[in-house]
Amino acid sequence: EEVEILRMFKHSPYIIHCFGADVSFENNVNLYNLLLEYASGGSLADRLQNCNSLPEVEVKKHTKNVLLGLSCIHNNRIIHYDIKPGNILLVGRDKTAKIADFGLSVTLEQGMNQKQGVIRGTERYMAPESLRET
């Protein structure tokens, strides 16, 4: 399902590119492997861990890229559910911030039909109203 969602965004410069998928069998387990573009800068979480603060110009650039990526995602009626620094990858020489990890994502319709009591995402990064289901 994640591959199908990523294919929707193959032309977006703010969402990680997926080149396909592969299945391997190791230790009696099927492993599903996504073939993604290389993020030489690691994740935004890595970047934040390696320094105490980021220059304002870098914060502005990453914020703009993430918002443009979210706009694209939402315009395609997809809910990501797990936006956090670890899922923002820094790609290329200019370290463009790109949204990754659509493993918890659903369509807007699926989200509207979701049962109450189902929490999706990383609690530390969720809005309080999502945790309270209000």
C-alpha span between 43 and 47 (Å, rounded) = 6
Q: 119: how many CB neighbours lie within 10 A of its CB?
A: 11
From the list 22, 82, 94, 101, the catalytic residue is 82
C-alpha span between 82 and 43 (Å, rounded) = 14
Would you call 82 a catalytic residue per the annotation?
A: yes
CA–CA–CA angle 109, 67, 72 (5° rounding)? 45
List residues with catalytic annotation. 82
